[in-house]
Structure 1
Amino acid sequence: MTPSAEELLAVARLYWGADLTYVFRQEPSPEDLRYQALWDEKNKEGPRWGALLKELRVALPECKVWDYTPPLANPSFGALVYPPYERVMSRPQYIWTVAGYLSILAPVYTVHCVRHHYLGKRCLDSKVFLGPIPLELQDIADTVARRIEADFGATALPLDIAQTPIPLYVNFMKPPETTLFHALFTSEPWNIP
């Protein structure tokens, strides 16, 4: 069962501050201390997440699958799946990534896409697609979702709940731009390698 927006906000308040009181202090906030302690606990699940990535590599042999779990940067384990593409150096092109995130704060996950606009090796722009997955990436996204559900028992967070604005500061996101998506998964969904 998917937690409500109110339940998820209550959880997020434990780990993210409602003001900037501690920004210029050297000591961590109570929320920072709880967040670090939770990551210390969740890091024990690293081998389990590694097993999920291996399963994805077997299930999606034509794709490249990478771990994207920067310690403490995101409140989630992350998997990035790169469909096959041929880089063309002489003209602009779009390269897609399917991103799956399993929150460490609540038993929820999300799968979305990022489209990078390249000219040669230079990325000109990145755009996040949190809504419907493009049809050509749907099988990959479904595979990622099924593995997260099967291996961790998490439920998909509906987009309308994920986009609920919250009055919290999450890394570089601040109200009124901050949403539950930022608090539960990543504050920079476009910023992936």
Structure 2
Amino acid sequence: MLPSKEDLIATVRKYYNSSNAFMFTTEPSPETKRHDDIWKQWIAHMEPWYAFRDELRSALPDYTIGETYPSMDGGPRCMVYLPKESWFPQSNWDVVGCVSLLAPVYFVYGVEWDYIDGRRQNFRASFEQPPPNMAWPDQVVAMTIEKMFGFSAFPRELAETPVPLYAGLLEPSETTLFHTLFTSDPSNIP
């Protein structure tokens, strides 16, 4: 069941700082300690994540599956990369699935990019519907997260809820629930 907006805001306040005092001390704040501890717990018990990743590889054998888990984020992310033979000069799309370590929620979005001069460039996060060629991987990621973790889909309307907290390099005026529960830099994927 999806937690309420109020419960989610109360939860992320436990893990992110509301003032910039943490920038002027070498000691981690209580919020930072809690955030670090939840990541340490997850890293010590990554078996469910490995099983999830293996399930995705089985379900999507023609795609490359990647992952990233920067400890400053609210949870790990997996990527389903468009097969190289399908790349175009512009508007390519990779699927990104995020699970939160802070609440039992997930979010699936896309990262658009261009292929110029033999390199992937101009990465842009998109919360819109995927293009037709990536709709199936998008659905598979969502279904597999629900199956493997039992998490609820996080609606875009809630994702865009402002929260006055520091998340990654974001100031409180820029931060949303998405940034705290998942990642402060959604377009940054390996």
Structure 2 matches for 1:112-191, cutoff 5 A? 112-191=109-188
Task: Please tell me whether the aligned partners of residues 79 and 94 of structure 2 are also in contact (alpha carbons under 8 angstroms).
Answer: yes
Q: Secondary structure at the match of 1:81?
A: strand
Offset at 1:122?
3.5
Structure 2 matches for 1:57-96, cutoff 5 A? 57-70=57-70, 72-86=71-85, 92-96=89-93
TM-score scaled by length of structure 1:
0.92
TM-score scaled by length of structure 2:
0.94
Structure 2 matches for 1:7-22, cutoff 5 A? 7-22=7-22
Residues in 2 aligned to 1:87 and 1:155: alpha-carbon distance in whole angstroms: 31
Residues in 1 aligned to 2:34 and 2:104: alpha-carbon distance in whole angstroms: 17
Offset at 1:50?
0.8
| Cα deviation code 1:67-122 (max 9, x no counterpart) | 2223x13211211101213387xx83333210001000000000100011221234
Residues in 2 aligned to 1:67 and 1:192: alpha-carbon distance in whole angstroms: 8
Residues in 1 aligned to 2:92 and 2:138: alpha-carbon distance in whole angstroms: 15
Residues in 1 aligned to 2:49 and 2:19: alpha-carbon distance in whole angstroms: 33
Moved more, 20-29 or 42-51: 42-51
Q: Structure 2 unaligned runs (5+)?
A: none
Offset at 1:138?
1.3
Q: Secondary structure at the match of 2:108?
A: strand
- Cross-structure match for 2:105: 108
Task: Please tell me whether the aligned partners of residues 114 and 129 of structure 1 are also in contact (alpha carbons under 8 angstroms).
Answer: yes
Q: Which runs of 4+ in 1 moved over 4 A?
A: none
Residues in 2 aligned to 1:163 and 1:87: alpha-carbon distance in whole angstroms: 32
Task: Please tell me whether the aligned partners of residues 162 and 180 of structure 1 are also in contact (alpha carbons under 8 angstroms).
Answer: yes
Residues in 2 aligned to 1:124 and 1:49: alpha-carbon distance in whole angstroms: 28
Offset at 1:187?
0.3
Q: Secondary structure at the match of 1:93?
A: coil
Residues in 2 aligned to 1:115 and 1:22: alpha-carbon distance in whole angstroms: 34
Question: How many percent identity over aligned positions?
Answer: 39
Cα RMSD over matched residues?
A: 1.6
Moved more, 181-190 or 61-70: 61-70
Q: Structure 1 unaligned runs (5+)?
A: none
Task: Please tell me whether the aligned partners of residues 93 and 131 of structure 2 are also in contact (alpha carbons under 8 angstroms).
Answer: no
